[in-house]
Structure 1
Amino acid sequence: MAAIPMAMPVPAAAGSVCGPVVVVGQQFCAPYVVDLTVTKKALSLSDSDFAVTDINGNVVLKVKGVVFSLRDRAVLVDAANNPVLTMQQKMFSMHRRWQVFRGEGTNPENLLFSVKKSKLFQLKTELDVIMASNPNEDECDFKIKGSYFERSCTVCLGNSDSIIAQMNRKYTVKNVILGKDTFGVTVYPNVDYAFIASLIVILDEINKDRAGDD
């Protein structure tokens, strides 16, 4: 896999963590800040609903929606179209829970983590990320906090203020005309950017229905 181009150094935020945070694989970690752009097509006629690009515009990850599925489901693939993760909403679950599996498919043995709303009704976005190795779910392993209307959020370690990634929406005339949502994502050093990309996709899916409690 080609190395991600190095982004310009940026000051570390208060409470940020140096890592390592490896969830999907070490190959998705870099010893420097990685700046990514996540572009979502409002109406996709191709097999790619999201594209994740580096600072040079090279596609490093893509998300393909699974059509004709009984449940919301998407597959994260690398630039060579190799399956990395499968994301699927759990049926009849409270807090709009999504489950994420390694590779393609939803074999329970390949479950990596789950994402769910911290509370059933929220004014601001708050999601809990629970690793498969934490079946009791006494505490979340990661937390996503932010504002849906401002389309900005941070990803933190557990319930701490240790930031591992930040996301903000980008507004351009071109994107508005083409019906695209574009997000700038800053991934802190030694943090798994494939993991962060999957969280952004799930965040967008959960926020499609703010009133949903399924």
Structure 2
Amino acid sequence: MASISSSGQISVVNSEFCLAYPVDIIIKKKLFSLSKKKYAVTNADGDLFLNVTENFFGVHRRRYLSDTDGNTFLTLQECIMTMHSRWEVFMGDSTEDNNLLFSVKSHSMFQSNTEYDVFMATNSEESGCCDFKIYENEIYAGNTKNNLIAQMNDQGSFMNTEYLVNVYPNVDLVFIVALVVIFEEIKHGGTSNSEGIFELANIVLS
């Protein structure tokens, strides 16, 4: 459940991830890796503090967001058989319903990948306003584009996917990282490491 304190602190995963000053982080996607590591998250000085790993097998595509000691904070799971591009995010490494924290889905199934709605688990009906919104490269609290809480700057190239993310003061860092990872997975189809390796092999052999 999202918590907004009287001081304006926005805590979704844990209040300890909310810093009182703006923070720049770098989220870099690993391409064609033989390991399960999918993304590396560093601070502006290049110090690693979060990893995002993937599952190689299974019906659902999953991403696991953990610290450098391997402690899993969140499990990100793609939903299948849905009209919208949709991911669900769970606390820890379990995908039981009682661990559901929030969901992300495209604003419209007829729209390009520019706008996504974020619903907390407590907003299960999803019939009213969303709790957070991703629009292009900006993340907002609430259902409008009035309360900006983070900005993504795509610094990638042909062979490199990298985002410089500016997280506003008192906003949950881990929550923002999860949103950026889902944004990237939907935007580029979420090709897994194993799929990428097969694609590269086909290019080399063709």
8 Å Cα contact 1:19/1:189 also seen in 2: no
Report the Cα offset of residue 69 of structure 1: 1.5
Could you tell me which residue of structure 1 aligns to residue 151 of structure 2? 166
Long gaps (5+) in structure 2: 1-6, 191-206
How far apart, in 1, do the equivalents of 2:67 and 2:10 lie?
19
Q: Secondary structure at the match of 2:51?
A: strand
1:55 to 2:44 alignment? yes
Q: 1:134 aligns with which of 116, 123, 126?
A: 123
State the Cα distance separating 1:124 from its structure 2 match: 5.1
**Within 5 Å, which residues of 2 pair with 1:83-162?**
83-123=72-112, 125-137=114-126, 138-146=128-136, 153-160=137-144, 161-162=146-147
Runs of 4+ in 1 over 4 A off after TM superposition: none
Cα deviations by residue, 1:130-152 (Å, 9 ceiling, x for unpaired): 00011121110000001xxxxxx
Task: Specify the alignment match of 2:63 in structure 1.
Answer: 74
Cα separation, 1, equivalents of 2:45 and 2:92: 27
Q: 1:163 to 1:33 in 2, by over 3 A?
A: same
Report if the CA contact (8 A) 2:39-2:52 is conserved.
Answer: yes
Q: Distance in 2 between matches of 1:79 and 1:140?
A: 32
> Residue type of the partner of 1:51?
A
**How far is the alpha carbon of 1:159 from its aligned partner?**
2.0
Q: More displaced, 63-72 or 109-118?
A: 63-72
The one of 25, 32, 46 aligned to 2:14: 25
User: 1:19 and 1:115 mapped to 2: Cα distance?
Assistant: 23
Aligned pairs, number: 182
Q: 2:170 maps to which residue?
A: 190
Q: Distance in 2 between matches of 1:135 and 1:24?
A: 18
Q: Which residue of 1 aligns with 2:179?
A: 199
Letter in 2 for 1:20: Q
Hey, what's the Cα distance between the residues in 2 that align with 1:114 and 1:98?
6
Whether the 8 Å CA contact 2:23–2:166 is kept in 1: the answer is: yes
Instruction: Report the more deviating stretch, 60-69 or 108-117.
Output: 60-69
Secondary structure at the aligned position of 1:49 is classed as strand
The Cα of 1:71 is off from its aligned counterpart by 1.1
| DSSP 3-state at the match of 2:178 | helix
Q: What is the percent sequence identity of the aligned residues?
A: 43
Gaps of 5+ in 1: 1-17, 147-152
2:62–2:75 contact (8 Å) kept in structure 1 = yes
For the 8 Å contact 2:26–2:163, the answer to whether it is kept is yes
Deviations 1:75-119 (A, max 9, x none): 000122100000001121121111000000201100000000000
How does the TM-score come out when normalised to structure 2?
Answer: 0.84
